Amino acid sequence: MILQIMKFFLDTANLKEINEARSLGILDGVTTNPSLIAKETINKKEIKNHYISICNIMRNEEDVSAEVISTNYEDMIKEGEKLSLLHPRIVVKIPMIHDGIKAIKYLSNKNIKTNCTLIFSPGQALLASKVGAYYVSPFVGRIDDVSYNGLNLIKEIKKIYDNYNFKTKILAASIRHPLHITECSKIGIYAITSPISVIKSLLNHPLTKIGLDKFLMDYQKIR
């Protein structure tokens, strides 16, 4: 049973875009990654404060995924613990690799929320959930890019999680166009994370514009 409408996370580290989504009233959380951080005009020393600035825009249950750079277990857990101490809203993003699985297990045992990223197969999502990931991030658009069907992966993961009542939340990432969003909501997943441009493109329909132009024109005819 779906208890609430699909959440809209913003896939960005840009404060202006996050504030715009807030003012539109559609913001439920934020996901970042090293590529998105690199687009911002900040240096490495400013990254931690930048995460805090993003967290400070969040409200209620909203959270912010911040990704570790390390790729070995010891460093990942140290980095993950440090990230989680930056702000209570931080979710530690961990890549789907051998040591990443161990790090997710360690962090989730310590009640630190994790987002297992770079998910491209149902088996990866199964493993992430088994070790207690709070979110999994399957990359829909990047699967489409290599001529497979990204949305099929979302359906497969949903089926597996439903079979066993896994608590891990599906956060569809690499969202490239409005149909990715509406199809994910038909599948009934917890959330998508998307650039604001794609979310805003949900607004558009040519008949809406034609209809509004006519209403406004007809209003002018009223004496």
> Which residues are tagged catalytic?
93
Other beta carbons less than 10 A from residue 131's beta carbon: 20
User: At closest approach, how far in Å is the CB of 19 from ligand G3P?
Assistant: 19
Nearer to ligand G3P, 146 or 222 (CB): 146
User: At closest approach, how far in Å is the CB of 223 from ligand G3P?
Assistant: 53
Nearer to ligand G3P, 145 or 218 (CB): 145
User: At closest approach, how far in Å is the CB of 31 from ligand G3P?
Assistant: 5
**Angle, CA 114 vertex, CA 182 and CA 147 arms, to 5°:** 45
Q: What six digits make up the tokens of 147?
A: 């001529």
Q: 80 vs 65, 113, 166, 200, CA distance in Å? A: 11, 10, 23, 33
Other beta carbons less than 10 A from residue 102's beta carbon: 17
Is 78 within 8 Å of 55 (Cβ atoms)? no
Interface positions with ligand G3P (CB under 6 A): 11, 31, 33, 139, 141-142, 173-174, 193
Of the CA atoms within 13 Å of residue 183, those in its CB half-sphere come to 16
Q: Measured on CA atoms in the order 130, 114, 77, 98, is the torsion positive or negative?
A: positive
Nearer to ligand G3P, 102 or 142 (CB): 142
User: At closest approach, how far in Å is the CB of 199 from ligand G3P?
Assistant: 13
Nearer to ligand G3P, 193 or 219 (CB): 193
Residues in the chain, how many? 223
